[in-house]
């Protein structure tokens, strides 16, 4: 007889089976549910070593999974960057200038200053600062601010000058520099334009920063009921997750979507989807097609209502995306692609359709991260290709509505 390691009894166990059955007890063995039923039905799984918890009528639900986030890197960001969120007390551009001036006073001349989580909808001015307003913080440090939605940064004049970027510099493929009516750079940087100012990318955390940052934020996720997260990871986050698991400090399960920039390294080692265990596993490769709704960089087929004649920003070209995803797909990697706008989603679906014809696989589990602006035709194609949309949650607040209404018509 198979005895359970753990039994929960006298509860309200929500099974979420096809009949939406609610039972009183559940038996667990080796971390897996082996049976659900009445208290009497589950009694047969009780052995000498079985731990029994009397729920006294409390409710049990299946573990909550967050299907997409940037959790572990966010943890290290907290240790590396200046927080510009409303929660940190930032309510105006003057507040941004104040806290970054304090940072500049303790930073060597010429070194970068980074702020993150800036949210224009929470500022009194209801707009992002310009490069000239960042110049008031310091003209002796390059400054870069990252916005709360990602995909959009603001830099000061020093950062542009250091990179040799002027009003005559063309927008890069997959990116855009904001300009005023005179063609002058105003400080805004979209998507791949970031790499023009910082070809080396974002600063990498130390091993300790990555470890303690990941530990802190994953513990926070566990405290609110999450049992598993899907996380976009690169080198530092992968190492942090492995370090946590080896130290038996991983508080919840982690599924890793690895940046597609590491495709060649992974392929050389023969590492692809499925490697790992129940606690830590590689799932897919992350690719970006466009930007974010909040930054107005999601690539759409109709112009934004508050930005006439503007259709967002593609972070790639169809040709480049097809070539990169082909390299991954032919080696049996699963794709998790960021695509917000309907234009980006359509291009992604067309590429996957061709790849599935050339390299057919059952249950492909390719994901569309965000999948925000869609129509019935796209829904049909998503079903046909067995794609897994990973969508934003419902719009809950006035602030969130203000981010989306400039794109979505009232009808």
Query: In CATH, what number does 80-197 get?
Result: 3.10.310.70
157-174 confidence digits (pLDDT tens) = 999 999 999 999 999 988
d(CA 261, CA 201): 12
Q: Where in the chain is the domain with CATH 3.20.20.140?
A: 207-404
18-45 confidence digits (pLDDT tens) = 999 999 999 999 989 999 999 999 999 9
Tell me what pLDDT residue 410 has. Answer: 52
Q: What confidence tier does 305 reach under pLDDT thresholds 50, 70, 90? A: confident
> What is the reported pTM?
0.85
Mean pLDDT (the chain, rounded) = 92
Mention every residue, 6+ apart, whose C-beta is less than 8 A from residue 190.
151, 152, 175, 176, 177, 178, 291, 295, 297, 313
116-155 confidence digits (pLDDT tens) = 999 999 999 999 999 999 999 999 999 999 998 788 999 9
Query: In CATH, what number does 207-404 get?
Result: 3.20.20.140
Beta bridge partners of 330: none
Task: Return the structure tokens found at 137.
Answer: 């913080």
d(CA 114, CA 82): 6
Q: Where in the chain is the domain with CATH 2.30.40.10?
A: 6-62
Q: What confidence tier does 392 reach under pLDDT thresholds 50, 70, 90? A: confident
pLDDT exceeds 80 at position 395: no
CATH 2.30.40.10 assigned to 6-62: yes
Beta bridge partners of 179: 185
Q: Where in the chain is the domain with CATH 3.10.310.70?
A: 80-197
**Burial (Cβ within 10 Å: 0-12, 13-18, ≥19) of residue 166:** exposed
Angle of helix 71-80 relative to helix 207-223, nearest 10 degrees?
120
Phi and psi torsions of 363, nearest 5°? 45, 60
Tell me what pLDDT residue 281 has. Answer: 96
Structural contact between residues 385 and 371, judged by C-beta atoms closer than 8 angstroms: no
More confident residue, 393 or 377: 377
């Amino acid at each position: 007889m198979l005895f359970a390691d753990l039994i929960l009894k006298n509860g309200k166990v929500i099974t979420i089976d096809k009949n939406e059955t609610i039972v009183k007890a559940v038996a667990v063995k080796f971390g897996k549910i082996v049976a659900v039923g009445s208290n009497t039905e589950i009694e047969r799984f009780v052995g000498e070593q079985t731990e029994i918890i009397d729920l006294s009528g409390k409710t049990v639900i299946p573990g909550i999974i967050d299907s997409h986030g940037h959790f572990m890197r966010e943890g290290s960001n907290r240790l590396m960057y200046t927080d510009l969120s409303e929660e940190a007390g930032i309510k105006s551009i003057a507040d941004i200038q104040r806290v970054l001036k304090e940072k500049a006073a303790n930073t060597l001349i010429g070194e970068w200053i980074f702020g993150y989580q800036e949210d224009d909808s929470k500022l009194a001015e209801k707009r992002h600062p310009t490069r000239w307003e960042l110049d008031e913080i310091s003209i002796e440090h390059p400054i870069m601010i990252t916005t709360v939605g990602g995909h959009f940064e603001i830099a000061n004049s020093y950062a542009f000058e250091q990179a040799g970027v002027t009003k005559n510099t063309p927008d890069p493929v997959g990116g855009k520099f904001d300009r005023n009516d005179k063609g002058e750079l105003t400080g805004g940087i979209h998507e791949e334009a970031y790499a023009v100012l910082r070809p080396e990318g974002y600063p990498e955390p130390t091993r300790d920063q990555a470890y303690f940052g990941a530990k802190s934020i994953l513990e926070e996720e566990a405290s609110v009921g999450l049992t598993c997260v899907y996380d976009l990871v690169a080198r530092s986050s992968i190492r942090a997750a492995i370090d946590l698991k080896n130290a038996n400090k991983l508080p919840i399960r982690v599924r890793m979507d690895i940046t597609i920039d590491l495709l060649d390294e992974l392929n050389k080692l023969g590492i692809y989807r499925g490697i790992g265990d129940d606690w830590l596993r590689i799932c897919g490769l992350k690719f970006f097609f466009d930007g974010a709704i909040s930054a107005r960089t999601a690539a759409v087929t109709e112009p934004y209502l508050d930005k006439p004649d503007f259709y967002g920003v593609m972070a790639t070209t169809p040709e480049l995306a097809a070539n990169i995803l082909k390299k991954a797909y032919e080696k049996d990697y699963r794709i998790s692609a960021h695509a917000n706008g309907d234009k980006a989603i359509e291009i992604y679906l067309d590429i996957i359709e061709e790849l599935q014809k050339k390299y057919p696989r059952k249950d492909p589990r390719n994901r569309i991260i965000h999948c925000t602006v869609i129509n019935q035709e796209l829904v049909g194609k998503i079903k046909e290709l067995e794609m897994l949309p990973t969508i934003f949650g419902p719009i809950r607040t006035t602030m969130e509505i203000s981010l989306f209404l400039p794109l979505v018509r009232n009808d």
